[in-house]
């Protein structure tokens, strides 16, 4: 038996907002920032003086960086949208550098910021309406028969008045905070933690003095396009992570209260935190064993998965969009680490071709237990994120297919999900003749629910069955 060990470093990270902050810590406020508003417990009806974020919300409000959401409300537990995050970054930049953010002129235009996903009714009526079309491709899901969006998470068609945002968008582009069209089509979407970190750094790139030695950042790969910006916020004590281990959910949404805390720490350096990370995080040790078809040796891999990471994914809401489970970036580091380990195991055991490496990884997934949702979860349908499937050491067809497709995709393979009315498998892109063709691209069929299937083997009950493709 060939045995390997693998321990995931933290796969999930979230911003930690510490409560031990003195309300008198004003000595190191950048002099460019001046107090413009007065704040007390009556300013917002939903912010109380014993809330951990009370001080931070007040600080961000008094210095004119963040305001409420209307009707005397701040909505501290609500998400901050990308439009709001860009607005915050623009205000920080303008106040620090002494610039003015011009209001809209009735005949103004920002046509250069337009793309197919955003249509302005402005300047015809001057109301700045955005029509956000997040969905343009639909397909049928397995088992449920519900039509879902294949290009994103869910199908959304929203309209909102964005007149207030237009000057901040134009300012952010002109000041180099963002590139034209960098976030087009997503302004009404919740900002992710990594996006906000990026925007805040770009707003004030010279204001993050290093006070912490942080390397590497848990769960943020150096290939992440926002890695350097996130690292600067860690090193300067603006971001600390959710716990002593420094966990930071880079692709997860961020709350308005958390954003207020980050803004406060940026303006007032006395609020920044000096810290070091605890590398010893609680894990669940798991053992996997599998056989590669027609190869006599049994392979074994020990993996440790953080309880925090597992509980995070368990707490996420379920969606009928199965591609979302493969697209979620929060577990990307862990899944990529596993995929790399399996690839190295394959090569070390003589499976060096890209076909054999993919087959070896497929055999690992096929070795997981088939777990019917009704029996194991008590519901008819319970799709899992890859970390859940690994932690549970099993799942049903969509769970194993999502796990395999994500690993192959992260290793650079062309992988898709193949969907029938009551089954899901994986399609592996090939330059030769595969089992099915879509838009001129050939795919091999990969069965994931039981051992023994080679790439391209199709079970008898699936021969001739029509299948849709979910891109990931």
The helix/strand/coil state of 376 is helix
pLDDT band at 353 (very low <50, low <70, confident <90, very high): very high
Cβ proximity of 278 and 254 under 8 Å: no
Q: How far apart are the first and last CA of the chain?
A: 34
Structure-token pair, residue 205: 């790139």
Q: Does residue 14 have a pLDDT over 50?
A: no
pLDDT tens-digit series, residues 50-104: 999 999 999 999 999 999 998 999 999 999 999 999 999 999 999 999 999 986 5
Q: Please tell me the pTM assigned to this model.
A: 0.57
Q: How far is CA 434 from the centre of its chain?
A: 32
- Write down the pLDDT at residue 5: 52
Contact between 398 and 142 under an 8 Å Cβ cutoff? The reply is yes
DSSP letter (8 states) at residue 113:
G
Predicted pLDDT of residue 92 = 97
Among 132-146, 165-179, 361-375, 399-413, the least confident range: 132-146
pLDDT confidence bin for 395, thresholds 50/70/90: very high
Question: pLDDT-derived band of residue 219, with 50, 70 and 90 as boundaries?
Answer: low
pLDDT at 467: 81
For residue range 251-306, what is the model confidence (pLDDT) as tens digits? Answer: 778 899 999 999 999 999 999 999 888 767 677 788 898 988 777 788 989 888 88
- pLDDT-derived band of residue 421, with 50, 70 and 90 as boundaries? confident
For residues 72 and 223, what is the distance between their CA atoms, to the nearest angstrom? 42
Q: Kindly write down the DSSP assignment for every residue of 121-149, as one continuous string.
A: -TTTSSS-EEEEE----EEEPTTT--EEE
Q: What is the DSSP string of 240-287?
A: --SSTT--B-TTSB-BHHHHHHHHHHHHBGGG-----------EEEEE
Name the H helices within 254-370: 256-267, 307-315, 323-327, 332-348, 354-366
Distances 11 to 227, 248, 389, 403 between C-alpha atoms, Å: 15, 9, 15, 15
Residues 146-179: tens digit of each pLDDT: 322 323 333 333 445 678 899 999 999 999 999 9
Mean pLDDT comparison of 274-278, 423-427, 458-462, highest-scoring range? 423-427
């Amino acid at each position: 038996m060939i045995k390997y060990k693998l321990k995931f470093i933290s796969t999930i990270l979230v911003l930690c907002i510490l409560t031990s902050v003195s309300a008198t810590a004003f000595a190191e406020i950048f002099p460019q920032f001046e107090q413009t508003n007065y704040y007390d417990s009556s300013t917002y009806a939903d912010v109380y003086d014993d809330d951990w974020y009370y001080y931070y919300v007040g600080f961000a409000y008094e210095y004119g960086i963040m305001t409420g959401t209307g009707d005397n409300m701040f909505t501290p537990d609500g998400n901050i949208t990308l439009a709001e995050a860009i607005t915050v970054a623009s205000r920080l930049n303008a106040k620090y550098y002494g610039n003015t953010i011009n209001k809209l002129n009735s005949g103004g235009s920002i046509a250069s910021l337009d793309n197919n996903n955003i249509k302005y009714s402005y300047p015809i009526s001057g109301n700045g309406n955005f029509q956000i079309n997040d969905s343009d491709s639909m397909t049928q899901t397995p088992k449920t028969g519900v039509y879902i969006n294949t290009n994103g998470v869910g199908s959304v068609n929203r309209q909102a008045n964005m007149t207030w945002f237009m000057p901040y968008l134009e300012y952010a582009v002109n000041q180099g905070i963002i590139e034209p069209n960098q976030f087009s089509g997503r302004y009404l979407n919740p900002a992710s933690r990594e996006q906000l970190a990026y925007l805040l750094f770009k707003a004030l790139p010279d204001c993050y003095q290093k006070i912490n030695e942080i390397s590497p950042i848990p769960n943020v790969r150096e290939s992440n396009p926002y890695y350097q910006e996130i690292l600067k916020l860690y090193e300067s004590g603006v971001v600390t992570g959710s716990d002593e281990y420094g966990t930071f959910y880079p692709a997860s949404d961020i709350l308005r209260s958390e954003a207020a805390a980050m803004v406060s720490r940026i303006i007032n350096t006395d609020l920044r935190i000096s810290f070091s990370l605890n590398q010893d995080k609680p894990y669940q040790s798991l053992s996997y064993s599998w056989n590669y078809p027609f190869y006599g040796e049994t392979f074994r891999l020990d993996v440790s998965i953080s309880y925090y990471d597992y509980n995070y994914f368990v707490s996420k809401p379920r969606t009928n969009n199965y591609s979302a489970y493969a697209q979620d970036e929060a577990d990307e580091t862990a899944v990529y680490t596993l995929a790399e380990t399996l690839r190295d195991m394959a090569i070390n055991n003589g499976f060096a071709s890209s076909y054999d490496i993919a087959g070896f990884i497929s055999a690992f997934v096929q070795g997981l237990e088939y777990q019917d949702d009704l029996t194991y979860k008590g519901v008819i349908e319970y799709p899992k994120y890859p970390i859940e499937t690994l932690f549970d050491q099993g799942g049903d067809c969509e769970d194993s297919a999502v796990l395999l497709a994500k690993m192959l995709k992260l290793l650079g393979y062309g992988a898709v999900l193949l969907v029938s009315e009551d089954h899901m498998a994986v399609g592996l892109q090939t330059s030769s003749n595969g089992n099915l063709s879509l838009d001129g691209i050939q795919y091999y069929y990969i069965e994931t629910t039981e051992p023994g299937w080679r790439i391209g083997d199709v079970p008898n009950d699936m021969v001739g069955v029509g299948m849709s493709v979910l891109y990931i």
